[in-house]
Chain A
Amino acid sequence: MAFQFLSPKPSSQKFIVDVDMDGDIDMLLKTERKNFESQVVTPGQLITSDAQSMRGHGTYTTESGKCAASVAGVVERVNKLISVKSLHARYNGEVGDLVIGRITEVSHRRWKVDINSRQDAVLLLSAINLPGGIQRRKTEADELQMRKFFSEGDLLVAEVQGHFQDGSSSLHTRNLKYGKLRNGSFVVVPQTLVQRGKTHFHTLPYGVDLALGLNGYIWVSKHTTQSSKDQDSDAIYSNENEEIDQERREAIARVCNSINALSRHFLHINDTTIKLAYEASLHFPVKDLLKLDVMEAITSEVKAGLR
């Protein structure tokens, strides 16, 4: 008797069996799965009627108990958690994030810092490095001369330390990497373009330092060596800019304009793209980088370089 092996028939069940790393089986209907693949949703659009799903950011529960989008963007799914990510949104601080901010208010033992979030962040006097050694206790005299450390309009780089009940963040600068910003130029980009990375401090080969704040604020400055920073702790709150020569100024301006070109064309901003944009921009004088056609030329070269 001859044997014949038949090829397996395609399963007729309407679930897509998709086992993930934890062994959880995805039991969405095919029709709903399609909905996720189309991905782009607008406010009010139903995402799923599955009562088991968890609603994340950018979603809400309708009166009939279904899950709908509240922002326009892309649906993201992690197991049962459904969230919609908007392409333009204010920064939502997370503990450990590096941010760049601007002091808006000096009040009792704290500063208010604009970090492009839905509320100004708080920087406590006890969360900064006081001049004269890290171990020094804060005194009454420090409270009285808070404006000597940071006054209104000063820029600083800090780390998110935690959150308050009302959703605002608290910052700290208890690290020599953090603190007041000098010798450079400030750039604002959409917050979604800056992604979390291993490090947000970069030294570019053109003698330029770069601090990429996750809140979409970027600081481009003259390169300083770490050892010169350590030398005098009194100088960390100085308002005086160092001497910057013409060549260095141009490099800083070129980096700033390259970042602006990238953000205008909605490309991710990290050290790789900035380097590519900088190199592409070398064919043009700095001031021409603000022209739309030049921006276009630079960004298309960056896109080609990324591939």
Chain B
Amino acid sequence: MSRLELIGPQGLRNDGRRVKELRKINCKPSVLSQADGSAYIEQGNTKCLAAVYGPREARTKAQVLHNRANINVEISLAPFCMSERKKRSKSDKRILEIASAVKQTFETIIKTELFARSQIDIYLQILQFDGGTIQICINAATLALIDAGIPMVDYVCACSAGCIDNEPVLDLNYVEESHDTPELTVALLPKTGKITLLQMESRLHVDKFQSVMEMATTGCKKIYHILDEVVRENVKDLLEKKK
């Protein structure tokens, strides 16, 4: 059988990480001047750019909600984001599903009731794809929303975990994802530990679920600390400049 060994004999994965290791996160808020808030984030080789516009006047009358703001999420994959160059339409069912998951996540977190009859647009662009689309979209959107000064109850941090050869593994990359690894994506509020999104599309033995879930949760908390650090740095930096 020519099956690729996902965890090597030394316990290292194909990208050199250990089982409990996150990919390296590199992020920067306020990268775009036109948007109200924006962020760029890299998780390993997955790269995403987020832009937030609003709260602003709803573009069409149909989108107006009388008691709260309407949130609009659009995700697009750059033609060059995968190994094969291909133009992907925005109405791809798979992408629309992710967009609606992101939208549902943030509808409960953003204090939308403060902005009746307005609209908040979140545009997400995947520049390079190496697995973990939902998690990077949520993390990027969180950073961009904070940068835009939109009131939120808490951060939302997302992380995935899977199970390879009966062993729970944190933060799957594309190679691991595409080898039929059961993948669980969790998005949670790090302060209260409330879960806002839980998604798994394959079968996982119930005995393993607990450990995979715990791994994803600790991953989320780690991501939270990284994002929080960056946001604080950014605020302090701007304050320093303003003085």
Contact = CB atoms under 8 A, between A and B. Distances in A.
A-B complex: 8 closest residue pairs judged by Cβ atoms: A86-B149, A44-B154, A89-B149, A70-B151, A118-B55, A266-B241, A120-B57, A43-B152
B42 interface: no
Contact of B151 (A60, A74, A104, A266): A60
B1 interface: no
Given A44-B153, A71-B149, A268-B242, A90 B55 contact: yes
Contacts of A89: 148-149
A90 B36 contact: yes
Contact of A44 (B30, B36, B189, B242): B189
Interface of A: 40, 42-45, 58, 60, 70-74, 86-90, 104, 112, 114, 118-120, 166-168, 193, 264-268
Interface size class of B (residues with CB under 8 A): 35 or more
Nearest to A193: B242
Interface in B113-149: 115-118, 146-149
A40 B115 contact: no
A118 B155 contact: no
Interface string B217-240: 000000000001001101110110
A60 B153 contact: yes
Contacts of A58: 151
B86 interface: no
Interface of B: 30, 33, 36-37, 54-57, 111, 115-118, 146-155, 189-191, 228, 231-232, 234-236, 238-239, 241-242
Given A43-B146, A120-B57, 7 more contacts: A42-B155, A43-B153, A72-B234, A88-B148, A89-B149, A114-B57, A118-B56
30 contacts: A40-B235, A40-B236, A40-B239, A42-B231, A43-B152, A44-B152, A44-B153, A44-B155, A44-B190, A60-B111, A70-B151, A70-B153, A71-B149, A72-B146, A72-B235, A73-B149, A86-B149, A87-B149, A88-B30, A89-B148, A90-B36, A90-B54, A118-B54, A118-B56, A118-B118, A119-B57, A167-B117, A266-B242, A267-B242, A268-B242
Contact of A43 (B55, B116, B154): B154
Contacts of A114: 57
A87 B29 CA distance: 13
A44 B146 contact: no
A70 B242 CA distance: 22
Contacts of A87: 149, 235, 238-239, 242
Contacts of B111: 60, 70
B241 A44 contact: no
Nearest to B227: A42
B56 A72 contact: no
